[in-house]
Amino acid sequence: MNPSQEPAPQHYEQAGYSYGPPPPEVVAWEQPRPLRRSWSRMVSVAVLLTVALAVAGAPLGLLWSWLSPSVPVINAGQNGIVVNDPSPEEYIAADGWFTLLGFGFGLLVAVLIWLVLRRDRGPALLLGVAFGGLACSVVAWQVGRLVGLSAWNSWQDTSAPGDTYSRPPDLQAYGALLVIAFAAVIVTTLLAGWSNDPDLERPGAKPGYGNNLDDELSSGSPDGPGPTAAPAPPAPWPADPPRG
């Protein structure tokens, strides 16, 4: 056998100098591991968000009732109680205030929830803001319309023809009840689309890093140490001198 065709020494392969695939530890570092979230936690997050947003609808309804104008009405006798204004705009104003407040509230609450519940970003958070937005709208509407409602009902029973009153605001366009959920879902979806982290835990995180808190560095930096580069292969073994 020609000495130049002899196989490389055994220690060459044991040293790991090869042109094949990278070492297993490098492959394991580069491939992202999916973050596993338990179903119980996802359901709990969605339910808690729904309840929290429903409770937040009470002060929102009080604010809507305070900002919306009341409707001037008059007891017209046989014609019943009619609006005492040739071109009433109070109904539109009440719906407009509810829509504006709901849209702004949906935007703010979606951003706040996205920043606070960093480890629960995903389907649970999206469902929570969707159902929570609907619950918040219904609670805000009912709380807002109850302000002054008992006095309004009492006046209808005791008023005489010609008496005037200011009816408390109420919602006429029920489609406004979808505004909070619509705004919250749109913002949450956009934030998830802008995130380049597959687990949605941190904006700007590298794929495959930071799947759990144990992978975090003590300094809190999202950039982990890079894999050690494989050294260059050694020079080929010199051919043995020809034998006499």
- pLDDT confidence band for 218 (50 / 70 / 90): very low
Least confident range from 121-135, 140-154, 210-224: namely: 210-224
At residue 87, the pLDDT reads 73
What's the CA angle centered on 49, arms 121 and 122, to 5 degrees? 15
Residue 203 has pLDDT above 60, yes or no: no
Residue 111 has pLDDT above 60, yes or no: yes
Average pLDDT over residues 126-136: 95
Domain-wise residue ranges, the chain:
41-202
Give pLDDT tens digits for 89-108.
Answer: 888 899 999 999 999 999 99
| Candidate from 18-27, 48-57, 80-89 with smallest mean pLDDT | 18-27
